[in-house]
């Protein structure tokens, strides 16, 4: 392979205009984890396809593209998922100190029945064969690729006026049974999607007093852990 | 808590203009995993801060914000990390069938020494205390939040004309020792960053014949795994 063999595949790729940069930062900064602002109108197929294409544009280890997307609009299926959430959430509440439980109970932590569309995002670790370029020393890279796809979808959704909420409170086995997901496939996320016309200006858990944003500078080190 | 107690914290949040949507999709679609296109000029501090703020705007389970960012510009530290990569990469190559090894060897899989900045992204699972809202039933949610932060940074970098490459080929223990990362903190990624003026039009592993993009429609199911 000569060093210049692939030069023709390179394209100019400088920085965006100020306006275009601002749009990207606006998607990043105003994206929210939505639980209750979903409007009832169904999402058009073409719009959902655009969001899924954004997800499918994510980086993936060894270009294995390990993701699948199961789109759920069936009401009975959403009801079953909501029941799985409700059972798990009752357990989760009891993990907190008594003085936190009232605030916990007041938080709406999912929008499964309200959002017109749910998407179960999964990772198939067998997609690229037994050996995947870049996964040998970190076997979790396939799931990380899948999470990158979720974040792509989430940001594209913000630009489209679609809210997304990531539900993580359920027993894996319940969702696996409800959707018939094979044992070798990993469930990464249950996402709720629907149009929104309002969003919280700050993350909902900050607005509602659960936990506040940390100062970024406290999270940065220089050249070595702990050095500033 | 009355249902309307937090209404004042909601802001209008509809879809973006066509131009602004196009900018978001352009960042998503033209982002690449960069190994060799890095220019040598150092990245200004203000620019790096903008990218880190984008990362810090990511969703996090229970708003725990479990991430830390160790910024590495020290040449000796980058050299040590490159040596750790090189040792691991020699092992990784041997995992492939003999007929794949020549192509594997021809691929440049990191830009640690060429890129002016590296960022080691870690996840501290103790950040939010023992019990974290949303993590009880999925203990990996903290790492998934950290990956969302990485993808935010990656897309902001694309808009800024900065290339990012995620290096995953190293033994965890090597990077842990080089940077002095405590045992309880998880290493999620070693990122290489630098300005770029060209990028591949398609993912580099596709351009170079390692693996091609899958048709999106093959990855979609309706209401149940396997149903189309």
CB-count exposure of residue B184 (10 Å: 0-12, 13-18, 19+): exposed
Q: Is pLDDT above 90 for B4?
A: no
In a domain, A209, yes or no: no
* Domain span at A178: 33-198
In a domain, A55, yes or no: yes
Mean pLDDT over B108-120 rounds to: 97
Closest residue in chain B to residue A37, using alpha carbons only: B10
Interchain proximity A13–B91, CB inside 8 Å = no
Tokens (6 digits) for B52: 């880190």
A172: CB partners within 8 A, 6+ apart: A187, B137, B138
The pLDDT value given to residue B128: 87
Q: Is pLDDT above 60 for A3?
A: no
Mean pLDDT over B3-14 rounds to: 88
Q: What is the interface pTM, i.e. ipTM, of the complex?
A: 0.97
Rounded CA gap, A150 and A166, in Å?
9
In a domain, B67, yes or no: yes
Chain A positions touching B58 (Cβ under 8 A) are 151
Interchain proximity B9–A200, CB inside 8 Å = yes
In a domain, B211, yes or no: no
A133 min Cα distance to partner chain B (Å): 8
pLDDT tens-digit profile of A131-162?
A: 999 999 999 999 999 999 999 999 999 999 99
Q: How confident is the model at residue A5 (pLDDT cuts 50, 70, 90)?
A: confident
- A169-178, B94-103, B211-220: segment of lowest average pLDDT: B94-103
The pLDDT value given to residue A2: 57
Chain A positions touching B148 (Cβ under 8 A) are 147, 150-151, 154
Q: Is pLDDT above 60 for B2?
A: no
The order of strands in the sheet holding A162-167 is A162-167, A186-195, A117-123, A67-72, B220-222
Q: How confident is the model at residue A81 (pLDDT cuts 50, 70, 90)?
A: very high
The pLDDT value given to residue A128: 87
pLDDT tens-digit profile of A183-222?
A: 999 999 999 999 999 999 999 999 999 999 999 999 999 9
Mean pLDDT over B127-136 rounds to: 93
- Between A3 and A84, name the one with better pLDDT: A84
In a domain, B5, yes or no: no
pLDDT tens-digit profile of B71-101?
A: 999 999 999 999 999 999 999 999 999 999 9
For the beta carbon of residue A86, count every other beta carbon within 10 angstroms: 13
Name the residue among A9, A16, A147 with its Cβ closest to that of B148: A147
Q: Is pLDDT above 60 for B62?
A: yes
Tell me the H-state helices in chain B. Answer: 18-30, 45-56, 75-93, 98-106, 141-160, 172-179, 204-207
Q: Is pLDDT above 60 for B124?
A: yes
Query: Among A147, A162, A189, which would you mutate to test the B interface (most chain B Cβ atoms within 10 Å of its Cβ)?
Result: A147
Mean confidence (pLDDT) of chain A: 96
Closest residue in chain A to residue B69, using alpha carbons only: A220
Rounded CA gap, A145 and A64, in Å?
9
Count chain A–chain B contacts defined by CB atoms under 8 A. 349
Tell me the pTM: 0.97
Mean pLDDT over B117-123 rounds to: 98
Q: Is pLDDT above 80 for B35?
A: yes
The enclosing domain of B67 has a CATH number of 3.40.109.10
Chain A positions touching B140 (Cβ under 8 A) are 143
Name the residue among A1, A185, A208 with its Cβ closest to that of B6: A208
Mean pLDDT over B184-201 rounds to: 98
CB-count exposure of residue A147 (10 Å: 0-12, 13-18, 19+): buried
Mean confidence (pLDDT) of chain B: 96
In a domain, B8, yes or no: no
Count of domains forming chain A: 1
In a domain, A10, yes or no: no
Chain B positions touching A101 (Cβ under 8 A) are none
Q: Is pLDDT above 60 for A82?
A: yes
A190 min Cα distance to partner chain B (Å): 12
In a domain, A27, yes or no: no
Name the residue among B1, B25, B188 with its Cβ closest to that of A156: B25
B79 min Cα distance to partner chain A (Å): 12
């Amino acid at each position: 392979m000569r060093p210049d063999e692939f030069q023709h595949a390179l394209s100019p790729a400088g920085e965006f205009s100020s306006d275009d940069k601002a749009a990207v930062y606006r998607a990043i900064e105003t994206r929210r984890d939505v639980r209750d602002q979903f409007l009832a109108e169904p999402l058009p197929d073409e719009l959902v396809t655009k969001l899924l294409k954004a997800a499918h544009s994510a980086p993936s280890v060894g270009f294995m593209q390990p993701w699948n997307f199961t789109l759920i609009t069936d009401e009975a299926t959403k009801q079953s998922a909501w029941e799985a959430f409700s059972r798990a959430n009752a357990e989760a509440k009891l993990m907190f100190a008594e003085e936190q439980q009232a605030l916990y109970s007041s938080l709406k932590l999912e929008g499964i029945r309200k959002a017109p569309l749910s998407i179960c995002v999964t990772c198939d670790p067998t997609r690229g064969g037994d050996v995947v370029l870049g996964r040998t020393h970190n076997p979790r890279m396939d799931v990380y690729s899948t999470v990158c796809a979720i974040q792509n979808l989430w940001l594209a959704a913000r630009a489209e006026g679609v809210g997304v909420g990531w539900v993580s409170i359920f027993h894996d086995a319940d969702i696996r049974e409800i959707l018939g997901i094979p044992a070798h496939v990993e469930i990464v996320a249950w996402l709720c999607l629907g149009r929104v016309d309002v969003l919280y200006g700050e993350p909902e858990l900050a607005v509602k007093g659960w936990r506040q944003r940390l100062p970024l500078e406290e999270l940065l080190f220089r050249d070595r852990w702990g050095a500033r």
